[in-house]
Structure 1
């Protein structure tokens, strides 16, 4: 495959991934805000639960649209890799939120408000989205080996 064709293919897959990710982000941010600001949950617990809720949309969207052209390994194997990948990414996101909220609180000298907490959460989402794309593209929804 020549370089321009490869770049176009990655850009196409990447743009579909970003659409699925945008929907998952809306779901995640909505659930996160509900849990933290309506029901008073801790930010780390809320981050984990919100990520898990958004995961359902992410799996279906990525399997059936973004990476539909990729080989399907056994469903159990694929779902297992997807869940392990996302467990790692969710843990990284939770740590980023925890560290970010603590850092903002230290800088402000008080508990950060909703805007600051959401900026930290969105920053963690951007970082984790980049990691997820690399892992989905290279491991979870892999290209079939050449025969």
Structure 2
């Protein structure tokens, strides 16, 4: 639920800035999409790390930031590619004479890009950043599950996410906050 709320606010920021830059300032849609995406990404990072995902004790903060930035770069590439495709084939004169069509196609592309990038971000962040272990242990205590605490702990110890986190702690330079 919190992921969705943060995502909606980030989308409003992204979409609003995109439409301002393309609609009012007649900026190229891919450049405008890049600027709006980066601004909304900063909000998304701050809000996600404060309200959505909890810091994991088994992962260094630098690794959290690296995962977030890496996922964002892939998301930005997907976003810009979809926006570019949305107006592909419109000639340069169409940017001015058919501005309404250009803006409409940009917005349709942005909606598609938002959905694709949202799925990408949720999957990668849930897999690598979320403290699923603590959440699962809490659910185990409150419900009748098939896995015992020992089985769940063993599964967590073998997970890529946990091993990556432990590796990041072991490779954090001296003096850096873990």
Query: TM-score normalized by structure 1?
Result: 0.77
Q: How does 1:51-70 map to 2 (within 5 A)?
A: 51-68=37-54
Contact 1:31 1:50 in 2 (8 A): yes
Contact 1:32 1:47 in 2 (8 A): yes
1:47 is the counterpart of 2:36: no
Unaligned runs of 5+ in 1: 1-14
RMSD, matched Cα:
2.1
Question: Larger C-alpha radius of gyration, 1 or 2?
Answer: 2
CA distance in 1, matches of 2:68, 2:130: 9
> Post-superposition, which runs of at least 4 consecutive aligned residues in structure 1 deviate over 6 A?
none
Query: TM-score normalized by structure 2?
Result: 0.64
Q: How does 1:121-140 map to 2 (within 5 A)?
A: 121-140=110-129
Q: How many residues align?
A: 128
CA distance in 2, matches of 1:45, 1:140: 29
91-100 or 111-120, which moves further after superposition?
A: 111-120
CA distance in 2, matches of 1:48, 1:116: 16
Unaligned runs of 5+ in 2: 134-155, 159-178
CA distance in 2, matches of 1:39, 1:48: 15
